[in-house]
Amino acid sequence: MKPILRNILAIIAGLFIGSVVNMGIILISGNFITPPAGVDMTTEEGLKVGMHLLEPKHFIFPFLAHAIGTFVGAYIAARISTKKVLFAMIIGAIFLSGGIYMVAILPSPIWFTLVDLLGAYLPVAYFAGKIAE
């Protein structure tokens, strides 16, 4: 397979699989940590209204979803691509841009924003790329 096609496939596969993992973790999170009474965690509006009721434990699974989804996507992209760490970091940057977008539309506590944006994307993607090397 030509390197350009291989690298395009790496990006597509990394984004798709990483997103599926991210969403899967978010969907099962309510089975482990129940949301506060009256908070609809399935909609953006429900989260905005109930954000002030969320405790630190309610942010564990979103962080794990972002970090594990990014790791899996970056690892897949790195394994397929010709330049392992570079393509892992590209996936990390794309997932980071999604995280920044979510912070913009769905404000969260500053501590979570910092931990999430600084820890769940680029460092995890770099680690995935290094493992794939």
Determine the pLDDT at residue 49: 87
Taking the domains of the chain in order of start, what are their residue ranges? 3-132
Handedness of CA 43, 48, 51, 52 (dihedral sign): negative
Residue 42 in this model has a pLDDT that exceeds 80: no
pLDDT band at 64 (very low <50, low <70, confident <90, very high): very high
* Global pTM value: 0.93
Given CA atoms 97, 98, 99, 105 in this order, what sign does their dihedral have? positive
The DSSP element (H or E) to which 61 belongs, if any, is: helix 60-80
